[in-house]
A and B are shown apart, each in its own frame.
Chain A
Amino acid sequence: MKKSIPEKQLFNSTKERDLLGHIVKTSIRYKIWVAILLLFIVFGMYGYYRQIRYGLIVTAMRDYTSWGIYISNFVFFVAVSLVGSLFSSILKLNKNEWAKPLIRISEIIAVAAIICAAVIIIIDMGRPDRFIYVFKFGRIQSPIIWDVIIISTYLVISFILLYISLLPDIAICRDRLTAIPKWKKKLYKIAAINWSNQPEQVLIIKKIGRILGITVLPVAFAIHTVTSWLFATTWRPGWDSTNLGPYFVSGAFMVGAAVIIFAMYFVRKYLNLKSYITTTHFDHMGKLLVLLSLVYFYFNINEYLGPAFKMVGVEGEHITELFVGKYAPMYWLVQIFGLVLPIVFLLFKNLRKPVPIVIISAFVILGAWFKRFLIVIPSLQHPYLPIQGVDESYLHYIPTWEEWAITMASFASLLLIITILIKLFPVIPIQELENPIEETSNESKKLKNEIH
């Protein structure tokens, strides 16, 4: 069936063409990208089918390592989702004007990440059909219930944050985009909820934007702190720490900033947004990443110095395993290439340019993923009460192909959600709500101001 595009799209301004063009035009590159992501997802679904069919025995998780890469991946996704609050709350409330074009990307990533985090928890369950029992028989005393509550709350808040920042732009899509299929027109019409740039509407949305910006901050801190409490309240070496909450939150902000740099590089490149996401943005993001990494570095010292100085019992065994044992190569690679070197490199202005900074961010992201692996798995392999005569398979954990396939699929899903949202909506805010009434007439003037 051939799709009929009603007419040729005309734009009122260059800004509109730059920011809305990708919604009208679907490139072959986009289709190939989506197809690749779908391929990963289908492969992951086959792995998950096998897991449902044969049970969790197809994974490498056993009595000792009962949380594998699913849970470390979950922690990673929750960490990434915090980036929404970093931009929509911390930077916005502190009036960091430069960060404005990045707010939308951060909110899109936050929504995608928190959806994937919620799904990965269900994937980790041996009997996902019993998920409903969590609500039916849940005990408020259990940190797992706290996590379920906070994740659902943060999911809703992330959606609303993205939605209220999008609303005026959805209305622009509804009013200006003509060369789009009917379903898209309908989608914009419904999602725009009669938005017409009325001063009262602008007033309300600015107000609720501020309220939400403040509300999201404690919720964001809570979501990752509660995630850390899942570990801190379980009696295992490496987790028995009061430092775990801030350690997780600071790590989350660090990886969030790196993810934004990574995302803005590709959005800028493939949507031709060089005039909107400038090298100054990369420079600022680089500085922000250094600051956040330094905070995380500080909590890392807190986390490891005490136990390493005392080397008590199983805690000592755990630290030895990380520092010089089985996990030492991964541990030092993560700490040096994912934390220390990025801090050092990003101090140089030249390395805060788009290409070098995106490479450095890739290392930070990879390091952050493996850091979560190092937080979850080695601890589980040193129980305080070892089981006698355990099966050989309990003593080490090497994820099976099913686990990798499902994990890769979760990443593909994250990227797919981000891709679809970016394809459907303008990724850089078009409307500046400060001057809503002059919007159309002053379009070209404002565009000039933005670019210079």
Chain B
Amino acid sequence: MKYIKYLFIRVLKITTLVGLVFMSTTQIYAQDNTKEDALISLDFTEKNNIKTIKATVTNKIGEPVEELDLYFFVKRTFSLLPIGDVFNTTDENGEVEVEFPKDLPASDTEGSVVILVKILESDLYNDLTVETTKKWGVPISDKEYHQQDERSLWAAAANAPMSLIVSISIMILSVWYVIFYILYKLYIISKIKPSKL
């Protein structure tokens, strides 16, 4: 009898725990389902040599979204460079302004930079990325741009220094010439027939 009572308490404990786990997951799911899409519109202004990005966030019925953190980035060669403050939160009009740095090098001679604005891991809105290309970077000079095509130790395979290509080729060819010569001679050896005694 004692054991049955003990067993009953254990089963009750376990079902309660399992129930709690399920409840919390359903709660998470519920939360996920309530997330909605937001809309970011960007406005770029340049006044007195200060470049500003203004992002306006609205919900699906067009109302401004207040107190939402936005993340601003500039695309670099290998990763995204964050710009703006640590937190860039929208105001009551759903707006937030970020100053664009003056000294970011661009990837081409025209000064193009790719600017990204993101909503990341918000409790209420789905993740979103808006991407725009602006000519706000410091353009690289023609000379610098064409340096990529110059022959150097750090260039791509096709632009290896001529001296290196020539010297390595001579070394490889001379050694492999000897190797093939020897293989040819071995072939000659195989063709020599034993003399009849």
B189 touches A195 (CB 8 A): yes
Within the assembled complex, what's the spacing in Å between the Cα atoms of A204 and B186?
8
Q: Which residues of the other chain, B, contact A153 by a CB distance below 8 angstroms? A: 172, 175-176, 179
Asked if A366 CB lies within 8 Å of chain B CBs, one says no
Within the assembled complex, what's the spacing in Å between the Cα atoms of A208 and B178?
9
Q: Which of B157, B160, B161, B189 contacts A193 (CB 8 A)?
A: B189
| Total chain B interface residues with beta-carbon distance under 8 A | 29
Please provide the chain A residues from 127 to 168 with a CB less than 8 Å away from any CB of chain B in the complex.
137-141, 146, 149, 153, 156-157, 160, 163-164, 167
B182 touches A208 (CB 8 A): yes
Q: Which residues of the other chain, B, contact A201 by a CB distance below 8 angstroms? A: 189, 192
Distance between A212 CB and nearest chain B CB, rounded to angstroms: 6
Identify the closest chain A residue to B182 (Cβ): A208
Q: How would you classify the secondary structure of chain B's contact residues: helix, strand, loop or mixed?
A: helix
Q: Which of B178, B186, B189 contacts A211 (CB 8 A)?
A: B178
Q: Given A194-B191, A200-B192, A139 and B157 touching (CB < 8 A)?
A: yes
B164 touches A204 (CB 8 A): no
Q: Which residues of the other chain, A, contact B190 by a CB distance below 8 angstroms? A: 193-194
Distance between B27 CB and nearest chain A CB, rounded to angstroms: 35
A137 touches B175 (CB 8 A): no
Q: Given A139-B156, A139-B157, A204-B189, A160 and B168 touching (CB < 8 A)?
A: no
Q: Given A138-B157, A139-B156, A204-B185, A212 and B192 touching (CB < 8 A)?
A: no
Distance between B179 CB and nearest chain A CB, rounded to angstroms: 6
Q: Count A-B pairs with CB separation below 8 Å.
A: 72
B175 touches A141 (CB 8 A): no
Q: Which residues of the other chain, B, contact A204 by a CB distance below 8 angstroms? A: 185, 188-189
Q: Which residues of the other chain, B, contact A205 by a CB distance below 8 angstroms? A: 189
Q: Which residues of the other chain, A, contact B155 by a CB distance below 8 angstroms? A: 141
Please provide the chain B residues from 10 to 36 with a CB less than 8 Å away from any CB of chain A in the complex.
none
Asked if B194 CB lies within 8 Å of chain A CBs, one says yes
Distance between A181 CB and nearest chain B CB, rounded to angstroms: 24
B181 touches A211 (CB 8 A): yes
Asked if B61 CB lies within 8 Å of chain A CBs, one says no
Instruction: Kindly supply a per-residue 1/0 record for chain B positions 140-180, scoring 1 wherever the CB is within 8 Å of any chain A CB and 0 otherwise.
Output: 00000000000001111100110011001001100110110
Q: Which residues of the other chain, B, contact A444 by a CB distance below 8 angstroms? A: none
Asked if A449 CB lies within 8 Å of chain B CBs, one says no
Q: Which residues of the other chain, A, contact B191 by a CB distance below 8 angstroms? A: 194
Instruction: Kindly supply a per-residue 1/0 record for chain A positions 205-216, scoring 1 wherever the CB is within 8 Å of any chain B CB and 0 otherwise.
Output: 101100110010
Distance between A431 CB and nearest chain B CB, rounded to angstroms: 14
Q: Which residues of the other chain, A, contact B156 by a CB distance below 8 angstroms? A: 139
Q: Which residues of the other chain, A, contact B160 by a CB distance below 8 angstroms? A: 139-141
Asked if B195 CB lies within 8 Å of chain A CBs, one says yes
Q: Which of A149, A195, A212 contacts B182 (CB 8 A)?
A: A212
Distance between A219 CB and nearest chain B CB, rounded to angstroms: 6
Asked if A435 CB lies within 8 Å of chain B CBs, one says no
Q: Which residues of the other chain, B, contact A137 by a CB distance below 8 angstroms? A: 157
Q: How would you classify the secondary structure of chain A's contact residues: helix, strand, loop or mixed?
A: helix
B192 touches A194 (CB 8 A): yes
Within the assembled complex, what's the spacing in Å between the Cα atoms of A163 and B190?
14
Distance between B155 CB and nearest chain A CB, rounded to angstroms: 7
Within the assembled complex, what's the spacing in Å between the Cα atoms of A212 and B182?
8
Identify the closest chain A residue to B158 (Cβ): A139
Within the assembled complex, what's the spacing in Å between the Cα atoms of A149 and B176?
11
Q: Given A140-B168, A141-B164, A164 and B186 touching (CB < 8 A)?
A: yes
Asked if B193 CB lies within 8 Å of chain A CBs, one says yes
Q: Which residues of the other chain, A, contact B194 by a CB distance below 8 angstroms? A: 194, 196, 198
A141 touches B172 (CB 8 A): no
Distance between A144 CB and nearest chain B CB, rounded to angstroms: 13
Identify the closest chain B residue to A199 (Cβ): B195
Within the assembled complex, what's the spacing in Å between the Cα atoms of A139 and B157?
4
Q: Which of B157, B168, B175, B178 contacts A146 (CB 8 A)?
A: B168
Q: Which residues of the other chain, A, contact B154 by a CB distance below 8 angstroms? A: 141
Q: Which residues of the other chain, B, contact A207 by a CB distance below 8 angstroms? A: 185
A149 touches B172 (CB 8 A): yes
A141 touches B161 (CB 8 A): yes
Q: Which of B161, B168, B172, B182 contacts A164 (CB 8 A)?
A: B182
Identify the closest chain A residue to B184 (Cβ): A208
Q: Which residues of the other chain, B, contact A141 by a CB distance below 8 angstroms? A: 153-155, 157, 160-161, 164
B185 touches A208 (CB 8 A): yes
> Which 9 residue pairs spanning A and B have beta carbons closest together?
A193-B190, A196-B194, A139-B157, A140-B160, A215-B178, A208-B182, A194-B190, A141-B153, A208-B185
| Cross-chain pairs A/B with CB under 8 angstroms, 9 sampled | A140-B165, A149-B168, A157-B179, A163-B186, A196-B193, A196-B194, A198-B194, A198-B195, A201-B189
Q: Interface of B with A (CB < 8 Å)?
A: 153-157, 160-161, 164-165, 168, 171-172, 175-176, 178-179, 181-183, 185-186, 188-195
